[in-house]
Amino acid sequence: MIRTDMGSERKLVAAAKAGDLTAFNEIAKRCRAGILIELTGLTGNSHDAEDVIQEAFLRSFLKLSTLKEPYNFGGWVRLIARNIARNRLRREPKFVQLREDSVQSPVLSNADVSLKTELALLALSRLSSKLRETSRLTYLSSYSQKQVATRLGIPLGTVKRRLWESRAKMKKEVMSMSRTGITPEPVNTIPVIKVMELSKETMTVETTGPGLYFGTTLKVGHQETCRFFDYPGGVLTQTAHCQVVRKTQIHRRECFEVLIEHSDCEPHIPNVLQYFAGTSDGFDWVMTVTADEAYPQTRFFKEGEELFPSTYSSGECDEYSARVVNLTIGDINYGKCLAVFWSWQNGTPAESFFTAAGKQVLHRRYAGQNAPESQNYRYENLPEESRKVFKGTEYRLWYDTVLIESK
């Protein structure tokens, strides 16, 4: 462990990156007071300043590995804090003050700051779905509390209560994790994904289903479970269980009925029935029925309006661009797969990864800087390191959907 009286900030940051709690604690303590004074002047009160510095330390904690100039940790955190404060002031010219009894010590202040960047993220990932999504939108996606309330359809007071509870639980979780590793409890973060380009390879895939929500095998009785992980952070946002229930007639067309059930999500997403029909060109999306609590919503698609090809080949055409890769997700190596990039015309392109057997095992969604405004993501907060450039346009990874189980 590094000594706290070490004078070199560069060495302290290097030690913190390597996993030394005392080092991170020391550099945070050194710069905290000065930043807090500046933030109090910017925000107009100490309560909002504490809230901002808490978020700034959380962000720096999660992104410590990206700091390229270790001797300037204090300036880096100060800049993060200023940007957070200014963004909040632009969105909310008057801050909503917290009640005295709701103000807590920041989860990442002084002695509570952890050594490894991933510890805070893992602690956040282990929260319940309601607390997890509220915290993810606030701390990782930088939405204001009012915006989070609108996004989740809950009162502002509920957002504040959830954040208070989340901070307390995260603090306890981080403090319980060991210095050299993490506890073996389940986590809700994206497994490690490795994509290795096979530029000299060619490949053609015959799919067995549309691949939408991993309905990749249209066979009665087939079941698949997938999980959605949103960025930044790669935190679980929902689990979807898909089951091909039966064959039925829709407008005199024989269709496969696929039931999709959602869990681990906030707000709750109702179950959905999707209907697909096979054609000579692929799979036609015929109808979708949403089991809304108030009333079911049904949408019919015109024939050919939403058509998923049954065959994909490496190369580029008007509809998609495909390349051959070697894909590993967690402990599973899927070997040679075809990565199909499509729908870039809409500003939020997707990338579907199919195995040689035609099963989709990974679905990636990207967002471009000029994509339509959405309450589901903030482009400037999506990870730059996961960017993809296609036809001169830069896209950033928005979420990953991973196949967890298939039978």
pLDDT tens digits, one per residue of 37-82: 878 777 777 777 777 887 787 777 767 767 766 667 888 888 888 8
pLDDT of residue 220: 95
pLDDT of residue 70: 62
188 within some domain: no
81 within some domain: yes
pLDDT of residue 20: 62
104 within some domain: yes
CATH number for the domain spanning 259: value is 2.50.20
Q: Give the pLDDT mean for 386-391.
A: 88
Residue 86's domain comprises: 9-176
Q: Do 122 and 264 belong together in one domain?
A: no
Q: Do 272 and 330 belong together in one domain?
A: yes
Q: Do 100 and 206 belong together in one domain?
A: no
The last residue of one of the domains, among 176, 207, 237, is: 176
Would you say the C-alpha torsion 139, 140, 144, 147 has a positive or negative sign?
A: negative
The last residue of one of the domains, among 141, 176, 211, is: 176
Q: Do 130 and 236 belong together in one domain?
A: no
Q: Do 159 and 201 belong together in one domain?
A: no
Q: Do 67 and 204 belong together in one domain?
A: no
The last residue of one of the domains, among 121, 146, 176, is: 176
pLDDT of residue 286: 94
Task: Please give the residue that has the higher pLDDT: either 6 or 306.
Answer: 306
- Look at 180-184, 316-320, 383-387 and tell me which has the smallest mean pLDDT: 180-184
pLDDT band for 177, please (50, 70, 90 cuts).
Answer: low
pLDDT of residue 116: 42
User: How many domains does the chain divide into?
Assistant: 2
Residues 6+ apart with CB under 8 A from 326: 194, 195, 196, 198, 333, 335, 336, 337
3-state secondary structure of 133: helix
Q: Which residue has the tokens 């940007």?
A: 83
Q: Do 140 and 264 belong together in one domain?
A: no
Tell me: the pLDDT tens digits for 329-371? Answer: 999 999 999 999 999 988 899 999 999 999 999 999 999 988 8
pTM higher than 0.75: no
Q: Give the pLDDT mean for 189-201.
A: 92
Mean pLDDT of the chain: 82
Q: Do 163 and 209 belong together in one domain?
A: no
Q: Do 197 and 136 belong together in one domain?
A: no
